[in-house]
Amino acid sequence: MAAVAVNGAKLGTASQAYLESRAVSDTKVLISDLCRQFYNLGWVSGTGGSITIKVHDDSVPKPQQLVVMSPSGVQKERMLPEDMYVLSPNGSILCTPSPKPYPHKPPKCSDCGPLFMKAYEMRNAGAVIHSHGIESCLVTMINPLAKEFRITHMEMIKGIQGHGYYDELVVPIIENTAYEYELTESLAKAIEAYPKTTAVLVRNHGIYIWGDSWISAKTQAECYHYLFDAAIKLNQLGLDPSTPIHGPIQNVKGVLGSGIHRNISVKAGTAASDNKSGPSQRCIVLDIEGTTTPISFVTDVLFPYARNNVGRHLSATYDTAETQDDIKLLCSQVQDDLEKGVFGSVPIPLDDVGKEEVIAALVANVESMIKADRKITALKQLQGHIWRTGYEKNELEGVVFEDVPEALKKWHDSGIKVYIYSSGSRLAQRLIFGNSNYGDLREYLSGFFDTTVGNKRESSSYAEIVQSVGVDKPSQVLFVTDVFQEAVAAKEAGLEVIVSIRPGNGPLPENHGFRTINSFAEI
């Protein structure tokens, strides 16, 4: 076989061997097998849909690996390995399948090609699946105005990279076009706008799903289709898949509410029972991020500081009892992550291999946890200790909105106890309020709660807080948050709830049914 041009240069002997390697042949066989399976699942019927996989070779970095892609316009369940295209890392065709006799059409590279390459380029994917499964099509049609699919508290969410049972799964929806390649720009924008997503839905069409390997992509595709089917069936039963208890879809002024039936925009704050009087509560519990403090302070200041100082902190404090406790907790979490196949987890070696190797593995795991914004105690505890050093060195200063200090003082002086409940550790919470841009505000706070009382999206966590603050009934506690799922969980526990609208906060579901405020002065 002659040398083949890739990226303007000819493949050398090693690359030519790679092109003719067993790995490429095995990948072709794998794709033909998967397409038969996907056909039986209804994902690639009528010649629609496609799959592409990078050819794994330990000696070749993933961005430089060859790509094998199923062809367009062919019967997917009858494809053979020799029917596959082989592409260079930048998408140029290296190998084209031979034509077949009538009634077969001439071979054609999939129109999905540019979209697949975007997932490879922007997410360093190892495989991408394009499915026409009916669930992925119907779920985009229930509300023709929705720009996202949302679901929470379903076991199969755990099969989606970076998600757990309590998390809300959000999948962006883009509009279909006459030709598939025309979707490339909108898909790229969706990938950029939703850094946590591993899929993009195309209305009235299907879905693109990627993973770091073909196993990851296939597993997630199965979970996505299951969740779409579950959401459709819940909706048919009048139940809301986007709330933790999946209760009846609420009807606000004749409009179906917080579930998929979101088709009329209701101005934020028009709750079914809009309580605008002063607080009758004995206690107020405040979220931090997006409520007392700008989200940007956490994402642009605290998280980068922790990420950039993990190695330095662990090296400087490695032998202390506190850091050894942090490491023990991290090791336990990483072991659990490895057993569950959590993306980004790497094994942590034993101490006898040397401190540097242990720290390097810890840093890799922590960086992955921070990138995924995981709400786990092991991460939050270590972050708190790193931030403490930053505050002590005057490298960090806590930030709260300008209305917060006056409100805290007012509530404190009137005898209302104020508590903080955040996914950040209690230490991290005390550091923000003890070193804020308005001075030490801790004198106005009665206590701090973190995820040791439970997940913030579970009603049992708020029931636990109610027991701790010593009120007669849950309605004597007011909870203020910017997160819809937290508001729902607190309301289920019987607390009064207000949703905080601050600059930089994410959008709320339409018809959410909660009172909203832009400043604590409104409480």
The DSSP string of 130-156 is EE--HHHHHTTTSSTT-SEEEEES-GG
| Structural fold of domain 283-289+399-522 | Rossmann fold (3.40.50)
pLDDT at 286: 98
- Across the chain, mean pLDDT equals 87
Indicate whether 261 pLDDT > 60: no
Give the pairing of strands 477-481 and 283-286: parallel
Contact 348, 331 (CB under 8 A): yes
Cβ count within 10 A of residue 36: 14
What average pLDDT does range 216-227 have in this prediction?
Answer: 97
Rounded Cα–Cα distance for residues 353 and 345 (Å):
19
pLDDT at 210: 97
What average pLDDT does range 473-483 have in this prediction?
Answer: 95
The residue ranking higher by pLDDT, 7 or 359, is 359
Rounded Cα–Cα distance for residues 207 and 184 (Å):
13
Rounded Cα–Cα distance for residues 486 and 508 (Å):
12
**Of 99-103, 181-185, 461-465, 490-494, which gets the smallest average pLDDT?**
99-103
What average pLDDT does range 391-416 have in this prediction?
Answer: 94
Annotated binding site for substrate: 112, 422-423, 456
Annotated binding site for Zn(2+): 130, 132, 205
Q: What is the pLDDT of residues 336-380, one digit of tens each?
A: 888 888 888 899 988 777 889 999 999 999 988 888 878 788 888
Q: What is the pLDDT of residues 93-132, one digit of tens each?
A: 998 998 888 888 888 888 889 999 999 999 999 999 999 9
Annotate 460-480 with DSSP letters as a single string: HHHHHHHHHHT-SSGGGEEEE
What average pLDDT does range 226-242 have in this prediction?
Answer: 93
Rounded Cα–Cα distance for residues 293 and 401 (Å):
6
Domain range 296-393, CATH class: mainly alpha
| Helix 303-317, helix 355-371: angle, nearest 10 | 160
pLDDT at 208: 97
What average pLDDT does range 398-410 have in this prediction?
Answer: 96
pLDDT band at 251 (very low <50, low <70, confident <90, very high): very low
Rounded Cα–Cα distance for residues 228 and 231 (Å):
5
Token pair of 205 as six digits: 């069409």
The residue ranking higher by pLDDT, 263 or 363, is 363
Q: How distant, in Å, are the alpha carbons of 2, 11, 12, 91, 148 from that of 19?
A: 11, 9, 10, 14, 40
Token pair of 151 as six digits: 């679901």
What average pLDDT does range 173-197 have in this prediction?
Answer: 92
Instruction: Give, for 332, the enclosing helix (H) or strand (E).
Output: helix 321-340
pLDDT at 281: 63
Rounded Cα–Cα distance for residues 229 and 147 (Å):
18
Indicate whether 5 pLDDT > 80: no
Token pair of 119 as six digits: 């997932």
In the chain, CATH 1.10.720.60 sits at 296-393
Instruction: Name, in order, each residue with C-beta under 8 angstroms of 138's C-beta and a sequence gap of 6 or more.
Output: 228, 232
pLDDT at 244: 79
pLDDT band at 280 (very low <50, low <70, confident <90, very high): low
pLDDT at 290: 95
pLDDT at 380: 85
pLDDT at 250: 56
Residue 377 exposed, middle or buried by CB count within 10 Å (0-12, 13-18, 19+): middle
Annotate 58-115 with DSSP letters as a single string: TTS-GGG--EEEPBSSS-GGG--GGG-EEE-TTS-EEE-PPP--TTSPPP-B-TTHHH
Indicate whether 265 pLDDT > 60: no
pLDDT band at 267 (very low <50, low <70, confident <90, very high): very low
Instruction: Name, in order, each residue with C-beta under 8 angstroms of 91's C-beta and a sequence gap of 6 or more.
Output: 67, 113, 114, 117
- The CATH superfamily holding the domain 17-237 is Class II aldolase/adducin N-terminal domain (3.40.225.10)
The residue ranking higher by pLDDT, 380 or 268, is 380
Token pair of 263 as six digits: 């088709």
Choose from 367-381, 460-474, 489-503 the range with maximum mean pLDDT: 489-503
What average pLDDT does range 469-498 have in this prediction?
Answer: 93
Indicate whether 266 pLDDT > 50: no
In the chain, CATH 3.40.225.10 sits at 17-237
Q: What is the set of active-site residues?
A: 155
Instruction: Name, in order, each residue with C-beta under 8 angstroms of 146's C-beta and a sequence gap of 6 or more.
Output: 140, 173, 260, 262
Annotated binding site: 112, 130, 132, 205, 287, 289, 422-423, 456, 482
Question: Which residues is 418 bridged to in the sheet?
Answer: 284
Rounded Cα–Cα distance for residues 146 and 173 (Å):
7
Q: HSE of 267 in the Cβ direction (CA atoms, 13 Å)?
A: 3
| Helix 426-434, helix 377-392: angle, nearest 10 | 30
In the chain, CATH 3.40.50.1000 sits at 283-289+399-522
| Helix 303-317, helix 377-392: angle, nearest 10 | 90
Amino acid, res. 212 = D
